[in-house]
Amino acid sequence: MNAKFTISYDGTSYLGSQTQPNGLSVEDKLQEAFKSININTKIILSGRTDRDVHSTGQVFNCQLPAFWKNLNKLKSIMNKHLPDSIKIKKIVEVEDSFHSRFHAKKRVYRYIVTQQELSVFNSKYISFYEKIDEEKIKEAISCFIGTHDFEYFHKKGSDKDNTVRIVFDAKFYKYKDIYVFKFVANSYLRSQIRLMVGSLLKLSEGKLSIEDLKAQLKKEKRVFRIPASPYGLYLTKVFY
């Protein structure tokens, strides 16, 4: 039986979502939980998240033994075997042809920042920036919407032959004392969102212009290279 899992996790506990030689990844912990209940299967993630990046809606699919008909029971048992930093939210049966990565249409990420002083309890889940010009960012973030070659907005060494991505929506808004960057795209390059957010925050400080941002997006010049902190970045939803 092919099953689709929706999970959430605290990325600060792991070296990313995909399996690592040292076993310190979200996928490795999921495999440990599966093996503890005698399920040997291959996990197919909708996409990778880097070290310290969180998720409230990561998706993966895998094959389950036919006798696991009660998926609610499986969810409960798996959550007992998983660390507190990983939680299975939902399991549903899907068609055998379903592939969580290749069939994903849109992926939603949010990056949250605040001007309020951080505490020891939230410093790994939100980023602090003292200067935020809301109107500047709202104007500039729309530049990312559309089909672009994001070669200058990704981390070198990620070995991607195709660096063209489609951004369906990009918004910046305030909720109480939190500012939210929201991106909806077909997929993302490594560190793409953190580089986009970093450039927007630098623009907000007046150290980068919207013309600079557009020039980098057109690959005319690379004026910004420093990604924003991973703390504050969340994969929130995957659409199929």
CATH assignment of the domain containing 22: 3.30.70.580
| Among 226, 191, 199, CA closest to 48 | 191
CATH number of the domain enclosing 173 = 3.30.70.660
Q: Within a domain: residue 201?
A: yes
Check: CB of residue 199 under 8 Å from CB of residue 129: no
Q: Decide if 99 is inside a domain.
A: no
In a domain, 42, yes or no: yes
Same domain, 85 and 157: no
**Final residue before a domain boundary, out of 93, 116, 142:** 93
At 152-204, the pLDDT tens digits run 999 876 556 899 999 999 999 999 999 999 999 999 999 999 999 999 999 99
Q: Based on the domain organization, do 131 and 178 belong to the same domain?
A: yes
Please indicate, yes or no, if residue 101 is contained in any of the structural domains.
Answer: no
- pLDDT tens for each residue of 202-239: 999 999 999 999 999 999 999 999 999 999 999 999 99
pLDDT per residue over 108-120, tens digit each? 999 999 999 999 9
Residues 139 and 219 in one domain: yes
Q: Are residues 229 and 151 in the same domain?
A: yes
105, 140, 149, 194 from 158: Cα distances, Å: 22, 26, 15, 15
Kindly state whether residues 162 and 113 are assigned to the same domain.
yes
- 118 and 195 within one domain: yes
Residue 119: give the domain boundaries: 106-239
The pLDDT value given to residue 25: 96
Which amino acids are annotated catalytic?
50
70-93 burial: b if 16+ Cβ within 10 Å, else e? ebeebbebbeeebeeebbbeebee
Tell me whether residue 134 is in a domain.
yes
Is residue 100 in a domain? no
Listed in order, strand segments (DSSP E) in the chain are 2-9, 44-45, 54-63, 86-93, 106-114, 127-128, 146-149, 164-175, 178-185, 233-239
Asked whether residue 125 carries a pLDDT value surpassing 60, the answer given is: yes
**138 and 234 together in one domain:** yes
At 161 the pLDDT is 80
Distances (CA, A) of 146 to 88, 138, 150: 33, 16, 11
Residue 155 has what pLDDT?
A: 83
The answer for residues whose C-beta is within 8 angstroms of residue 84's C-beta and 6 or more apart is none
How many domains is the chain partitioned into structurally? 2
Question: Among residues 71, 93, 115, which one ends one of the domains?
Answer: 93
Q: What are phi and psi of 199, to 5 degrees?
A: -65, -35
| 168 and 87 within one domain | no
Do 172 and 110 sit in the same domain of this protein?
Answer: yes
Tell me the per-residue pLDDT of 31-56, one tens digit each, with 9 for 90 and over.
999 999 999 999 999 999 999 999 99
> Domain check: are 232 and 135 in the same one?
yes
pLDDT tens-digit series, residues 58-71: 999 999 998 999 99
Phi, psi torsion values for 215, nearest 5 degrees: -65, -40
140 within domain boundaries: yes
pLDDT at 240 exceeding the cut of 60: yes
**pLDDT score at 23:** 81
Considering the domain architecture, whether residues 118 and 192 belong to the same structural domain is answered as: yes
Angle between helices 192-204 and 134-141 (to 10 degrees): 140
Question: Among the three residues 72, 93, 114, which one is the final residue of a domain in this structure?
Answer: 93
Pairing of strands 54-63, 146-149: unpaired
Query: Quick one: 172 and 220 in the same domain?
Result: yes
